[in-house]
Amino acid sequence: MNKFKQLMVLSFAGYIILSSLPARAETLVTDLSQHVIEITSQFSGSELLLFGAIERHATESIQSDEISVQGLDYDIIVVVQSDPTDLVIRKKEHIAGIWINKENQTLKNVPGYYVIGSTRPLDEFLSKEVQVEWGLGLNNLTITNENGDEIVEFKQALIRNMINKGLYQEASGNVIVKDEILFRASLAFPSNMPVGNYKADVYLVRDGNIIINHRTDLLVDKRGIERFIYNFAHEYPPYYGMMAIFVAISIGLFTGFVAKKIT
C-alpha cells in the first residue's frame, strides 16, 4: 500500500494548507488515485481510491480536545457515475411454451455505472426528502421512459440487473474517516464497465443537510490495441470487415501450410 501512504501524505498536506487559512465554513478537498482508467488487453476490472480532507468550520475557536468529542458531526457520501445514456430494457414472456422478449421500454438518461458509498446507512443521517432531492441512492435515481413516465417494474428490474453485473453498487460504512479530517473510499470497477466520462461526487453532510459537494472527473477509455480495434470497427466498418477477412485468410493459409509441413 505504498501508493496509499503517499496519498495520505498528500491529503494531509492539503489539510495543513487548508487549516492555515482563515476558515469560515467547511471546505472539502477530494481527489482520485487515478483520473483515467485504461482498458487494455489484460483488463479485468479496476480499483480506485477516492480520498480527501475536510476543513472544519471555526477551527480556531474549538479547543483541540473538543474536536474528538464532536466526532460524528460529519458524514460523507461518495457517488461515482458514468455520463447518462439511453438503455433498452426488455421483458420476457411465456409465449407458445418458450420465453420470448415481449414488452420493452427505452429508459432515458440512465447511468451505465453508479456506485454510492457512505460513512453510515443514508437513512441514519439524511431524510428521505433530501435523498430524493439530490438523487442519492439507487432507488432515488430518476429512471423514466421516453414519455417521462417512471414504470416501477422496469426501474426495479434495471437496478437488479445492473447490481448483478456489478455496475450498480450501494454500500455504507465503506467511506472511512480518519481523525475526523481525512477520508477515503475504495471503489471497485468491473471489467464490463462502460467507457466514457465519469464524475465522482463527494457530499459532506452535517445535521441532516448537505453542506458541500465537490466533483472530480474521471475518464474510462480503451487503450492500445483494444482502443484501435474498437474504434476501427465502429468508425470504418467496411475496412474493418475487409481486415477481418484478410486476417482470417492469412492465418488460415499459414496454419494450413505449417500443418502440411509437420504431417
Residues of the shown chain interacting with another protein in the complex, contacts defined by CB under 8 A:
39-45, 85-94, 97-101, 104, 106, 154, 157-158, 160-162, 164, 191-192, 222, 225-227, 229-230, 233-234, 237-238, 240-245, 247-249, 251-253, 255-257, 259-260, 262-263
Least distance to another protein from the beta carbon of 198, Å? 16
By CB atoms closer than 10 A (0-12, 13-18, 19+), residue 87 is middle
Looking at the Cβ atoms of 20 and 191, the one nearer to another protein is: 191
Looking at the Cβ atoms of 173 and 237, the one nearer to another protein is: 237
Least distance to another protein from the beta carbon of 49, Å? 22
Looking at the Cβ atoms of 9 and 251, the one nearer to another protein is: 251
Query: In which order are the strands placed within the sheet that holds 209-222?
Result: 36-39, 209-222, 196-206, 74-82, 114-118, 168-172
Neighbours of 50 (CB within 10 A): 25
C-alpha cell at 3: 501508493
Q: Are 200 and 116 in contact (CB under 8 A)?
A: no
Q: How far apart are CA 82 and CA 102, in angstroms?
A: 29
Looking at the Cβ atoms of 62 and 251, the one nearer to another protein is: 251
Least distance to another protein from the beta carbon of 217, Å? 22
Please, what's the b/e burial string for 149-173 (b: 16 or more CB within 10 A of its CB; e: otherwise)? Answer: eebeebbeebbeebeeebbbbbebe
Least distance to another protein from the beta carbon of 112, Å? 9
Q: Are 92 and 99 in contact (CB under 8 A)?
A: yes
Least distance to another protein from the beta carbon of 35, Å? 21
Looking at the Cβ atoms of 115 and 202, the one nearer to another protein is: 115
- Kindly state the helix (H) or strand (E) to which residue 131 belongs, with its residue range: helix 128-134
